Chain A
Amino acid sequence: MIKIQNARKWYAEEVKIGPLNIEIPKAGITSLIGPNGAGKSTTLLMIGRLLHMDEGQITVANMDVSTTKSNDLAKVLTILRQENHFVTRLTVRQLVGFGRFPYSKGRLTREDEKIISKYIDFFELTELEHRFLDELSGGQRQRAYVAMVLCQETEYVLLDEPLNNLDIARAVQMMEHLRRAAEEFGRTIVVVLHDINFAAKYSDRICAMKHGQIAAFGSVREIMKPELLSDIFETKIEIIEGPYGPIAIY
């Protein structure tokens, strides 16, 4: 369980995130949605201890993210940011192999190699594993980054806009992979999404944010309501019933 208590980050007098109070249950996919600047990424980064919070407490699996040893947290929690740029040239396999660092400290065992292969195969990167990242398409590269954090085999996986810059096919493929990862490997995945319909189709819970506050948190059906969404996005949004559940029209 991810438990956020009174967490706040004040960027400036007008830009305040929090205080946030929320409990994200274990297992499944939880989507963070909301307009730009609502504090979705800030919340995710604070959970992932990449951003220092000004006040409050966040615990992941009963570990306080500000006080627990970083290496212990790295075995429970992982986070992938939106932009990843490395100064060195890495092959897909080397990149995914870095995910084993919390365990092996860089000395990969045979067991590690097996796990690396497993996630490379899972993300259909087998043929590309010795390609350098700059030789891949955007979708392939994004899959490699997600493979890297999943290879860390943590119970909690936080992803900041993993569908950014992906076309519809790649985005669907990515969400299918995440869905399978949540189910087959029993991961708890928290993901920042911009597309409400992707959130509705693939997640178990949706957390909607607005103006640095949590506006609503609940199951897909509880959040996919026209008044609620219209209010959050300040746009007229209608909900119709599609073959796979509610669909937002805007």
Chain B
Amino acid sequence: MSTLESQPTAHGGIDASLRNSRSTSAFRSGRDARRYWMILSICLGVGILATVGLIFYNNPVPVDSPSFMPVVKRRLVAVVAMFIAALCHSFATVTFQSVTGNRIITPSLLGYESLYSFIQTSIMFVFGASALVNFSGIGAFFIQVGLMITLSLILFGWLLSGKYGNLHLMLLIGIIIGTGLNSVSGFMRRMLAPSEFDLLQSRLIGSVTNADSEYFPFVIPLVLLTVLCLFLMSNRLNVLSLGRDVATTFGVRYQANIIFILILVAVLMATTTSLLGPLTFFGFLVAMLSYQAAPTFDHRYIFPMAFAIGYGVLTTAYFLLYHVFGSQTVVGVIIELFGGLAFLIVILRKRSL
């Protein structure tokens, strides 16, 4: 023991001041905390810069022209959509990984995205292209969100609240349902005419251009409220991330809390998927990067970091897409390229997950 104790600073610079004051901080050392705030400001700065760029850069009309503001407004819709996507995916993924105690899975496993593509595909298959085009508007949007939340409620209610309630069984069933829905929609897609398929495909790839500002008055308050709720539950999430037994020992009603939290996750995932389409790996990459940038257990610090990284990545990717690569590439490709590189770098540096 003495050999280990004699070199405390070698293990990552523990501040002398922190040592003397003897208080419990979310970060191990002042250095970690400073690094956190620095990375957070850089990500926010990049996000803001890219936002300004997206709105004003390369505007085809001059500032004094009367059509300047309409162009800005149109671009603003895309930016708001990115804001919502970043909020939803970052909060949903971090929360989901914490309550499941697993950092290499995403809430997509519960089958929201498969259900989304199943709904879209079956409308096209059964009712034809005109029905799919007409299946938009607030009613259709809320039907989809409602269906996805209902699916997860059934899944959670059935598998989590019983005597044999088991989170991993629920995940497994979620994956099976998702795969099943995917195969059925895959089958239906093969029977479509190429033109119909093309129309459908544009709906099935997540993109901010899918977003319709008509939904914003409902979606923004809903998302903000859900996110606020999760943020205020940070302390409880911290304990829940220690697992069922430890959380119960500390007096947290595990089952009830898990179901409530998973419903909030379902609201976020259903909303963003219905609004923008599936973005399967985005949340996963954002969460993974934010754990690196925020070395703490405390969700009060992880959440803002995850959002800042998510927003920064999305806006930067779209800015590059529109203004550097000339909008020829799908943004998902860019996100996955940079995300994949970051993933590899992290694994190579840490030599483990």
Contacts and interface: CB of A to CB of B under 8 A. Distances in A.
Contact of B11 (A93, A99, A129, A131): A131
A128 B8 CA distance: 8
B246 A84 contact: yes
> Which of B22, B24, B241, B246 has the largest count of A CB atoms less than 10 A from its CB?
B24
Interface string A33-69: 0000000000000001110100000000000000001
Contacts of A94: 24, 26, 297
Q: Which 4 A-B pairs have the closest CB atoms?
A: A74-B251, A106-B235, A71-B251, A88-B297
Interface string A206-226: 000000000000000000000
A130 B235 contact: no
Nearest to B15: A130
A198 interface: no
Contacts of A107: 235
B250 A130 contact: no
Contacts of B126: none
Contacts of A87: 97-98, 101-103, 241
A147 interface: no
Given A87-B98, A130-B14, A74 B24 contact: no
A113 interface: yes
Contact of A128 (B5, B23, B29, B245): B5
A137 B3 CA distance: 11
Interface string A83-124: 011111111011001110110011110000100110000000
B19 interface: yes
A117 B24 CA distance: 9
17 contacts: A50-B248, A70-B251, A74-B250, A80-B249, A84-B246, A86-B101, A86-B246, A98-B238, A98-B239, A101-B235, A106-B239, A127-B8, A130-B28, A131-B11, A135-B11, A139-B1, A140-B4
B243 interface: yes
A116 B249 CA distance: 17
Interface size class of B (residues with CB under 8 A): 35 or more
A88 B28 CA distance: 13
Interface string B86-102: 00000000000110011
A73 B22 CA distance: 29
Contact of B4 (A84, A97, A105, A137): A137
B18 A130 contact: yes
A233 to B, nearest CB: 29
Contacts of B14: 130
Interface of A: 48-50, 52, 69-75, 78-81, 84-91, 93-94, 97-99, 101-102, 105-108, 113, 116-117, 127-132, 135-137, 139-140, 149, 152
A54 B2 CA distance: 48
Nearest to A130: B14
Contacts of B175: none
B1 A137 contact: yes
Interface string B19-49: 1001110101100000000000000000000
Contacts of A70: 248, 251-253
A195 B102 CA distance: 35
Given A70-B252, A106-B235, A113-B22, A86 B8 contact: no
Contacts of B18: 130
Contacts of B250: 74, 98-99, 101-102, 152
B28 A149 contact: no
Nearest to A158: B249
Nearest to A90: B297
B238 A106 contact: yes
Nearest to A127: B5
Contacts of A149: 249
Given A90-B297, A107-B235, A74 B249 contact: yes
Interface string B195-211: 00000000000000000
Nearest to A101: B250
B24 A113 contact: yes
B295 A89 contact: yes
Nearest to A88: B297
A220 B217 CA distance: 71
Contacts of B251: 69-75, 101-102
Nearest to A126: B22
